[in-house]
Structure 1
Amino acid sequence: MRWLSLSLITVVLVATIGLGWVFDVVYQHYAGDAQNDTADEIQHAEILTKQLADTLAESGDAQQFVAIWQNSEGYQLRVLPLAELVLPESLLVSLSAGNTLNLESDTDISIHRLIPKSESVLIMEIPSPEETAQQSNNRYWFTSLFYLLLILLFLLWAQPLITRLLQLRKTARAFGKGELSQRIRVGKVSYISDLETEFNHMAQRIEDLVSDVKLLSSAVSHDLRTPLARIRMGLDTLSEETDPVKRQAYEDRINEHIDDMVELIETLLGYARLDQAMLELERKPIDISQLLHKLVEKKQQPDKSITLNHNHKSAMVSGDPTYLKMLFSNLLQNALQHAQHRVHIEIGTSAGALVIWVADDGPGIAADMQSDVFKPFVRSRNSKHKGHGVGLAICKRVVDWHQGSIEVQQSANLKGAEFMVTLPKATTIT
């Protein structure tokens, strides 16, 4: 949403300040020319009025001169006694002193000039310049054009947002109808890329939960049915047996089956609790190299060697130490169970991320099983060890919480299984 906020602020500033400044410069230039023309015309009329007033002072009959005077520019002349002018005292004093007085109305501009050696005032009326009305019309046009461009600019900005929101709604609607594989393709230029990414994470998590529920129900129906059947058979046999030694053997066997059931139920509950644990992650900078060194020292075995190769000074990620330790402990334990003699761990970097490889020289994982080994209660066909197939599912869940990835392939050197974990590096390292 940060990109959405920044782009909105940018558009508002450009639209209001940028467009406003451009239109203001254009309008001021146009209006300035019109005002200069009007000022020149008034100045010309003032000079003409002064000359006519001086001429009337020399002639005998001012009214007769005004009656026959005509002007091709539409100027009108009047002569009024000074006493008939209704003006403030200050203006009358200024006019009597020989100054020119300009009065403007809605229809015309009146230029007043006292006729020398008389008590009469010559008034020249000139029509208001046509540019004034035209200027008013142009102001409306400029204003309309400004708002039109403003709306177009906002529409151009909003069009990608509307498109992405419609796509988000379409995908969410399809997802709600049960198409759990639906995802939003996050565009390179998107105001809501964070929201789209979070939607995809949410959709993936829901799909994983639904898949886990199906696998859990399948595991419960399969793995619990077997020990229950054995317990029932043991109880039936025990009820018919009178030999104390055989009865004790049957009881011990029934207890073993009960222990298997308890272990399976605890495994199911533990895996289910992982979803609740995600809400309690405590992220902090963690040095993966130190964590792996401690795990290697703890899990050393006399008949199998564990090597750790790390050529970087620091391998810091941001995550929860408890669950990252669980992640690599499960991977290392899984490698030791299937390895014949060697387990190799290597730490590297790639495009701002930390990459950890855990490989062994065991039988490996078949290519058609590599995409399923991270699902709960799925076990490799090559595995001869007892377990419920939850360890790698826990690894996948922990990696997803830390916005990383985990893959499995055949090791090029050891020829067994090789797990590759990619985790984002810590943003700040102190």
Structure 2
Amino acid sequence: MTGTDPDAGSARERSQGLARSLFRVALPRWRGGRYSLSKLFFNFYLLAMGSFVAIAFTADLVISTAQRGITDDYARRFMRGTITLIEDELFRHPRSSWEKKIQTIDEKFSYKLGIVERITLDRKLTPSQVDKLDAGDIAIDHDGDIMYHRLGTSSLVLVVGPLAASRNPEQTDRLPLELRLRLLTWSLIGVIFGIALWFWIRPVWRDLEALRQTARDLGDGDFEARSPAARSQLIAPLSDTMNSMAERVQQLMATHRELSCGISHELRTPIARMRFALEMLTETDDPAERERLWGMMEADLDELDHLIDTSLTYARFEREAPEPHFSSVRFADWLADEVESVRLLGRDLELAVDTSQLPENLAVDLDRKAMPYALRNLLRNAFKYAARQIRVSAELDGERILIHVDDDGIGIPPEEREHVFSAFTRLDRSRDRSTGGYGLGLAIARRVLELHGGSATADAAPLGGARFTLAWQARQ
């Protein structure tokens, strides 16, 4: 890699400041105890328990209403015998003594008995209950849990109830047994639900705290920070997304630093040559010398233009990872056309294309916009180092298509073959103007092949120099 300079350092500081600002905007506002585990627990508990109680009471009301008719029929059948016996007992005595007799009978029952005039019930009972009463049936008042039965054809009505009332003086001020059981049941449910909720929400809170701390570290510029493995399956996708985002940001920052440092270094050489040529141009009147200096500056401008174009291409592949658009091509014809389009750059080098190992009329799927970047960059690299000849060949290996670009140059040491695909990486012997380059061509080629789900590799060539191979699935 090339060295850094003050301009690259300031660019790195600006990019880090931008990343910190972005993370601070996204940082959860959980500072100063605004949100705590206990507050989260109680808010969630009240919401969940309140909803549960409301649903339970609503369901109980609906079920009670639906079963009321069934309950009424059961109660009538259950109490009909008792009421009939009381009625028969009253009919054995004169009507004038019924009030006294009902008080005597009342002492033998746990619930209250009484006799009222029929006309007094018109306002207490509904029209349907009055109709039942006049028909000689038992009318039930649900609000007071009281039963009414007309005594024969008289205007008197037997009143039985309230059925739930107790005659025990000690229980007069106490809550009804049913209500006490309900309160006890709901209390137990609330406690059990609270304990279960606490053990469920505690790991969630710990995961949220870990995410908060990771976001804070990233906001402070520590791009190595990662969220630990989440204990809760609810937070696990968020934690994975946070880590993926951090890795992507770190990768983009590294690419930005790499491009900034590399480009700032590469710009110095042509700019220095142009400044030197301009100074010489002002000091000479020789037309031939002036023509030579103009040619030097034009070459430097072309070099600057190529550097900027190549850098933008590499940055686009690094930043956007564009979606590939595959189309099927007749591969032998496509390969021959692409090689022919750059043949002039090879000057007097011998450039051959061998497709004899391919099946006839083979069709291959590739991105017709991106794949030429990879092939042309391999050919340009071969043009720099080949001594006399370059050979491009292709073969079908199972489901994969392979393109080999061989040259008879100086080759690449085994320990450098993977390293040459990194951006702005050049072998020491290539740092002269005769070969030029910025170490971006091979990096772009690898990015293109990754876009195709394939690979770009370097090896020794049969011609004695370097072999670069592009491999991907022939059918996508």
TM-score range, shorter chain: 0.5 to 0.7
Instruction: Call closer, same or farther: CA 1:50–1:358 in 2, change over 3 Å.
Output: farther
- Measured against aligned partners, the alpha-carbon deviations of 1:1-48 in whole angstroms (never above 9, x if no partner) come to xxxxxxxxxxxxxxx9xx98xx97xx77xx78x988897556422331
- Measured against aligned partners, the alpha-carbon deviations of 1:315-335 in whole angstroms (never above 9, x if no partner) come to 324x4x344323211112323
Alpha-carbon separation, structure 1, partners of 2:209 and 2:465: 48
1:205 is aligned to 2:252: yes
Instruction: Call closer, same or farther: CA 1:142–1:358 in 2, change over 3 Å.
Output: farther
What is the letter of the counterpart of residue 256 of structure 2? L
Match of 1:343 in 2: 391
Cα offset for 1:139?
8.8
Cα offset for 1:374?
4.2
Alpha-carbon separation, structure 1, partners of 2:226 and 2:100: 95
1:269 is aligned to 2:308: yes
Give the secondary-structure state (helix, strand or coil) at the position aligned to 1:116.
Answer: coil
Cα offset for 1:218?
1.3
1:52 is aligned to 2:92: no
Instruction: Call closer, same or farther: CA 1:296–1:271 in 2, change over 3 Å.
Output: closer
Instruction: Call closer, same or farther: CA 1:269–1:119 in 2, change over 3 Å.
Output: closer
Q: Quick check: 2:385–2:409 contact (8 Å CA) kept in 1?
A: yes
Alpha-carbon separation, structure 1, partners of 2:371 and 2:114: 101
Alpha-carbon separation, structure 2, partners of 1:336 and 1:423: 24
Match of 2:436 in 1: 387
Alpha-carbon separation, structure 2, partners of 1:313 and 1:38: 86
Give the secondary-structure state (helix, strand or coil) at the position aligned to 1:69.
Answer: helix
Cα offset for 1:167?
7.2
Match of 1:5 in 2: none
Q: Quick check: 1:171–1:184 contact (8 Å CA) kept in 2?
A: no
- Measured against aligned partners, the alpha-carbon deviations of 1:140-191 in whole angstroms (never above 9, x if no partner) come to 66996999699789959967984785476256325x46x5x77889999625
Cα offset for 1:77?
0.8
- Measured against aligned partners, the alpha-carbon deviations of 1:384-430 in whole angstroms (never above 9, x if no partner) come to 84323355166258638947675543247666434355668886xxx
Alpha-carbon separation, structure 2, partners of 1:412 and 1:231: 44
Q: Which shifted more, 89-98 or 328-337? A: 89-98
Q: Which shifted more, 283-292 or 127-136? A: 127-136
- Measured against aligned partners, the alpha-carbon deviations of 1:211-263 in whole angstroms (never above 9, x if no partner) come to 11111111222443356446646865x47xxxxxxx45533442343233222
Alpha-carbon separation, structure 2, partners of 1:183 and 1:140: 44
Match of 2:327 in 1: 286
Q: Quick check: 1:271–1:390 contact (8 Å CA) kept in 2?
A: no
Instruction: Call closer, same or farther: CA 1:268–1:338 in 2, change over 3 Å.
Output: closer
Alpha-carbon separation, structure 1, partners of 2:334 and 2:217: 41
Structure 2, unaligned stretches of length 5 or more?
1-47, 166-175
Alpha-carbon separation, structure 2, partners of 1:75 and 1:205: 84
Alpha-carbon separation, structure 1, partners of 2:210 and 2:328: 39
1:220 is aligned to 2:267: yes
Give the secondary-structure state (helix, strand or coil) at the position aligned to 1:190.
Answer: helix
Normalized against structure 1, the TM-score is what?
A: 0.66
Match of 1:6 in 2: none
Write the mapping of 1:12-411 to structure 2, written as runs, cut at 5 A: 40=74, 43-60=77-94, 61-70=97-106, 74-87=110-123, 91-92=129-130, 94-105=132-143, 108-116=144-152, 118-128=154-164, 133=179, 137=183, 162=208, 165-166=211-212, 169-170=215-216, 172-173=218-219, 176=221, 179=223, 190-191=237-238, 197=244, 200-226=247-273, 228-229=275-276, 232=279, 238=284, 247-248=286-287, 250-274=289-313, 284-287=325-328, 289=331, 291-298=334-341, 303-308=350-355, 310=358, 314-317=363-366, 319=367, 321-339=368-386, 341=389, 343-346=391-394, 358-367=405-414, 369-370=416-417, 373-374=420-421, 378-383=425-430, 385-389=434-438, 392=441, 395-396=444-445, 399=448, 402=451, 407-411=456-460
- Measured against aligned partners, the alpha-carbon deviations of 1:42-83 in whole angstroms (never above 9, x if no partner) come to 642233112211221123432333222257762211122334
Give the secondary-structure state (helix, strand or coil) at the position aligned to 1:365.
Answer: coil
Cα offset for 1:125?
0.5
What is the letter of the counterpart of residue 262 of structure 1? L
Structure 1, unaligned stretches of length 5 or more?
1-15, 240-246
Q: Quick check: 1:339–1:361 contact (8 Å CA) kept in 2?
A: yes
Give the secondary-structure state (helix, strand or coil) at the position aligned to 2:353.
Answer: strand
Sequence identity of aligned pairs in percent?
14
Alpha-carbon separation, structure 2, partners of 1:161 and 1:292: 53
Superposition RMSD on alpha carbons, in Å? 5.2
Q: Quick check: 1:402–1:423 contact (8 Å CA) kept in 2?
A: no
What is the letter of the counterpart of residue 190 of structure 1? P
Instruction: Call closer, same or farther: CA 1:73–1:228 in 2, change over 3 Å.
Output: farther
Normalized against structure 2, the TM-score is what?
A: 0.61
Alpha-carbon separation, structure 2, partners of 1:207 and 1:294: 37
Give the secondary-structure state (helix, strand or coil) at the position aligned to 1:123.
Answer: strand
Cα offset for 1:379?
3.1
Alpha-carbon separation, structure 2, partners of 1:425 and 1:167: 46
Q: Which shifted more, 157-166 or 330-339? A: 157-166
Which of the pair has the greater relative contact order for Cα pairs under 8 Å at 6+ separation? 2
Q: Quick check: 2:400–2:474 contact (8 Å CA) kept in 1?
A: yes
Match of 1:417 in 2: 466
Q: Which shifted more, 207-216 or 387-396? A: 387-396
